[in-house]
Amino acid sequence: MHKVVATRVVVVGGGPVGMVVAAELAGYGIDTVVLESKTTIDEHPKANTLHARTVQGLVRRGYLDLPVSGTRSGTVTTPFHFGGLTGLSITTPACEPPALLKRAQADLERDFEKSALEKGARVLRGHRVVEARQSQDHAVVVAEGPQGTVEFRADFVVGADGARSTVREQFAFPADVREPTVSASMGVVRVGEPGALAEGWRRTARGWTVARALPDGRHLVRVLDLSAPHPDRHTPLTQAELQEQLSRISGHEVPLTDAQSLSRFSDFTRIVHGYRQGRVFLAGDAAHVHFPIGGQGLSTGLLDALNLAWKLAFHLRGTAGPGLLDSYDSERRPVAQQVVDNTLAQLTLMRPDSDLDPLRALFDSLLSQDEGGRLIGGMVSAQGLCYPPRAEHSSAWEGRFLDNETLETEDGPIDVITLLRDGRPLLLVLGDAYEVPAGAAAWAPVLRTVRAAASAHGKPSAVLVRPDGYVAWAPDGEELTGALRGWFGEPR
């Protein structure tokens, strides 16, 4: 006889994506359990880049404490790269947080776990999922934990358990898969000979080396061998193999010592056909895996979390419109497909074949031009993302992200970021040009309404903003009450 635990949502996977899902759900008062097989946070170097839209979304929900000035005008440009080409700049509004945040994945996970626990989620480490199933009425996840077998019964399950997702396998999510064509390795090392290792991004006739000095004198090294995939990418990487690869790709001997955190990666690609099966959802690497160029994977997964969590919470609280849960797949899967496509394009640019030199020259030119740079920078940073409209007669603003701005209200100045901190949908009325219909008052228990002076940044006279910062309605679309009903159901 094993223990049975009832909850509303089981999140499988305690990485950054799973922890944000849990923190968001718990913040809405949803009883949530996180199951994580590891007993401690994995400190090995992994992803360490968060892109602009992800940073902006996390700041709005209170997960990042970064300097923001809603009174600043203009834009800020931050240099980045595309497939090793260095001409790309990421442009962000000056009123938003910095375009790029460099922070170790382990530190993010630690911060997000703290938030989840403070909001009331239960985080159970050392629990390995061995079985999962669902019926019309509930879902079941069985895990082996320190005290034996535990069966969790829930309304929904979120699989945020990474590229080797047990949830994806247990529920047999179909997927498109592209087998690897290259071999890549990484590790934290000491270079035994000064000057033997070139820092930064270096392309040779055989592949790429990427090296970054660490504060303690060691280097984080990545080696990309473009000749062929490794015969078994799950074979543990050794210091001798990393040194051989690094020396061969560099074209000269690079002696290494004290190698730690050794791992392999490749351009193996997978994206599931759908992010939902009944009561089961996938998020992050469980749903999509791609060549990790440009640091887009973690950012994409965290935007999955911010998109899914409020919709799931509103559904469980009875304040969701019809089809709201299905919009998670229709909004987020196309984004992952775009990331898959642009990372494969970058890999093509990185191949050493001289026949690709004209293509690289073309991209160099595109990156240096304002229009081309904005297009590619918006794609990599996810600032170019616009979700599809819900209604047939939708506003031109629907699906766009609402930029930050300090607004003048009767209670004093307040910015958009602060207005979204409590996780409620926001009806923002700017100036006197729009009259809110009387029927909208029926949604007052769900909706936060704020009146402010007209925007100095070209915002419409009124705008309905989702908890994740995206516009749900503006006056050039359908009637407000129809939009409220479509997004948040019948008034209670």
**Residue from 471, 468, 479, 438 nearest 455 by CA:** 471
Q: Is residue 235 part of a domain?
A: yes
Q: Are residues 188 and 172 in the same domain?
A: no
Residues facing 79 on adjacent strands: 89
Q: Are residues 278 and 232 in the same domain?
A: no
**Residue from 95, 16, 9, 21 nearest 328 by CA:** 21
What is the C-alpha radius of gyration for the chain, rounded to an integer number of angstroms?
24
Q: Which one of 265, 287, 317 terminates a domain?
A: 265
Q: Are residues 209 and 257 in the same domain?
A: yes
Mention every residue, 6+ apart, whose C-beta is less than 8 A from residue 447.
424, 425, 426, 427, 440, 484, 488
Q: What are phi and psi of 355, to 5 degrees?
A: -65, -15
Q: Which pair of tokens denotes residue 78?
A: 């931050």
Q: Is residue 397 part of a domain?
A: no
Domains held by the chain: number = 3
End-to-end CA distance of the chain: 42
Assign residue 119 the CATH number of its domain.
Answer: 3.50.50.60
Q: Are residues 105 and 12 in the same domain?
A: yes
Angle at alpha carbon of residue 138, lines to 127 and 175, rounded to 5°: 70
Tens of pLDDT along the chain (492 residues)?
589 999 999 999 999 999 999 999 999 999 999 999 999 998 888 888 999 999 999 999 999 988 887 778 889 999 999 999 988 999 999 999 999 999 999 999 999 999 999 999 999 999 999 999 999 999 999 999 999 999 999 999 999 999 999 999 999 999 999 999 999 999 999 998 888 998 999 999 999 999 999 999 999 999 999 989 998 878 999 999 999 999 999 999 999 999 999 999 999 999 999 999 999 999 999 999 999 988 899 999 999 999 999 999 999 999 999 999 999 999 999 999 999 999 999 999 999 899 999 999 999 999 988 889 999 999 999 999 999 999 888 999 999 999 999 999 999 999 999 999 999 999 999 999 999 999 999 999 999 999 999 998 889 999 999 999 999 999 999 999 999 999 999 987
Around Cβ 480, how many Cβ atoms within 10 Å?
A: 20
Task: Tell me the pairing of strands 269-272 and 207-213.
Answer: unpaired
Cα 415 from Cα 408, distance rounded (Å): 9
| 452, HSE (Cβ side, Cα atoms, 13 Å) | 25
CA distances from 328 to 14, 189, 282, 390, 439 (A): 21, 41, 10, 12, 28
Residue-number span of the structural domain to which 434 is assigned: 406-488
- Amino acid at residue number 258: D
Cα 97 from Cα 101, distance rounded (Å): 9
Q: What are phi and psi of 336, to 5 degrees?
A: -60, -40
Q: Do 343 and 384 touch, CB atoms closer than 8 A? A: no
pLDDT for 1 equals: 56
Q: Are residues 48 and 120 in the same domain?
A: yes
Q: Are residues 203 and 139 in the same domain?
A: no
Assign residue 243 the CATH number of its domain.
Answer: 3.30.70.2450
Q: Is residue 400 part of a domain?
A: no
DSSP state of 461: S
Q: Is residue 396 part of a domain?
A: no
Q: Which pair of tokens denotes residue 143?
A: 């895990």
Cα 281 from Cα 308, distance rounded (Å): 9
Q: Are residues 275 and 153 in the same domain?
A: yes
- Amino acid at residue number 96: E
Packing angle, helices 52-60 and 296-317, rounded to 10: 30
Cα 62 from Cα 78, distance rounded (Å): 23
Q: How far is CA 331 from the centre of its chain?
A: 13
**Residue from 165, 399, 384 nearest 287 by CA:** 165
Q: How far is CA 309 from the centre of its chain?
A: 13
Assign residue 449 the CATH number of its domain.
Answer: 3.40.30.120
Q: Is residue 61 part of a domain?
A: yes
Q: Are residues 102 and 130 in the same domain?
A: yes
Q: Are residues 46 and 137 in the same domain?
A: yes
Q: Is residue 281 part of a domain?
A: yes
> Mapping DSSP to helix (H, G, I), strand (E, B) and coil, where does residue 481 land?
helix
Q: Which pair of tokens denotes residue 472?
A: 């749900």
Angle at alpha carbon of residue 265, lines to 263 and 271, rounded to 5°: 135
Q: Which one of 265, 297, 316 terminates a domain?
A: 265
Around Cβ 206, how many Cβ atoms within 10 Å?
A: 17
pLDDT for 234 equals: 82
Q: Are residues 466 and 322 in the same domain?
A: no
Q: Which one of 381, 398, 414 terminates a domain?
A: 381
Q: Is residue 386 part of a domain?
A: no
Map tokens 């690869």 to a residue: 245
pLDDT for 46 equals: 84
* Burial label, 437 (beta-carbon count in 10 A; 0-12, 13-18, 19+): exposed
Residues facing 122 on adjacent strands: 33
Q: Is residue 90 part of a domain?
A: yes
Q: Are residues 254 and 118 in the same domain?
A: no
Q: Do 41 and 110 touch, CB atoms closer than 8 A? A: yes
pLDDT for 48 equals: 86
**Residue from 317, 339, 342, 321 nearest 423 by CA:** 317
Q: Are residues 62 and 209 in the same domain?
A: no
Cα 437 from Cα 481, distance rounded (Å): 8
Angle at alpha carbon of residue 286, lines to 281 and 291, rounded to 5°: 140
Cα 99 from Cα 79, distance rounded (Å): 10
Angle at alpha carbon of residue 283, lines to 148 and 138, rounded to 5°: 55
pTM score: 0.96
Map tokens 């004198």 to a residue: 217
